[in-house]
Amino acid sequence: MKFKIIDAHIHIGPSRDRMVPDHSVERLVERMDHYGIEKAISSCRYSMRNRYESGYEMDAEAYRLSGGRVYCFCNYTPKLSDEAIANLKKRRDDPAVRGIKLFPPSSGYRADDEHWRPLWETARELGMPIMSHTWAASTYNPGQAYATADRFEKWVREYPEVNFVFGHCGGRYEGVKDAIAIGKKYKNAYYDITGDLFMNGFLEELVDGVGADRILYGSDWTMFDQSQMLGVVLGSDLPALDKEKILYHTAEKVYFGWK
């Protein structure tokens, strides 16, 4: 069976901490065509380093070069709150923009810190969904403690109008379990299965916990090839209808249905 696919979590642009042999938009579109991926949504590496104008230029070029297939997130950090919110408001009606991306480990603020509240207020005002990097606490990467799933519960609870996506589903298995527990209480919680989430049966457990209509496929390209998490979905024991939701329909609803 052939599925329509949206890759809901990629990164365009050069990386300062790893070698990416070919991060060009042309190469990305070639891979998307190879795997049958219709659309992708990127968090530009420049924007993740708070270089909003440089990130915007790269995002706009990717959207143009891809023929409107590579979309983008606006990034936000409390370090530059006023500038970041002005950027969100300026780009809200840009056809390439599909939501807001957060990366607490590099922000200097834990995800439940009140310095994030202006972002949530703005997201509610603009009707924009939020996706954040989430991960389990890590002994070898202590910055992950800034983005554990439990730190987002207060925002998901206080802002039910804002659709929130747990990027990486909370990370390792402990984080996935914590994220599922939040999703059982709040219907505005969603989950992208991005990254090296290779635990046996985790996708089936995630579907059992929150339903396939709240789960999105993502690859984390260029960190990983787009085939890896595609294999997790396509090789799972889930029925075809659930695979359709994860590969396409949930992302279409969350990221393309708000404007």
CATH number of the domain that residue 236 is part of: 3.20.20.140
The total number of structural domains in the chain stands at 1
Residue 205 reports pLDDT greater than 80 = yes
Average pLDDT, integer, range 184-212 = 93
State pLDDT tens for residues 234-254.
Answer: 999 999 999 999 999 999 999
pTM, full prediction? 0.96
Residues pairing with 76 in the sheet: 102
What is the structure's pLDDT at 52? 81
What's the pLDDT band for 19 if we cut at 50, 70, 90?
A: low
Please give the Cα distance from 201 to 221 (Å, whole number): 23
Please give the Cα distance from 218 to 246 (Å, whole number): 9
Our measurement of the distance from residue 8's CA atom to the centroid of its chain's CA atoms, rounded to an integer in Å, reads 6
- Report the run of H or E that residue 181 belongs to, with start and end: helix 173-183
Please give the Cα distance from 46 to 51 (Å, whole number): 5
Helices 81-91, 52-65: inter-axial angle, 10-degree rounding: 30
Residue 111 reports pLDDT greater than 80 = yes
Q: What percent of the chain has pLDDT over 70?
A: 98
Domain that holds residue 20: 5-256
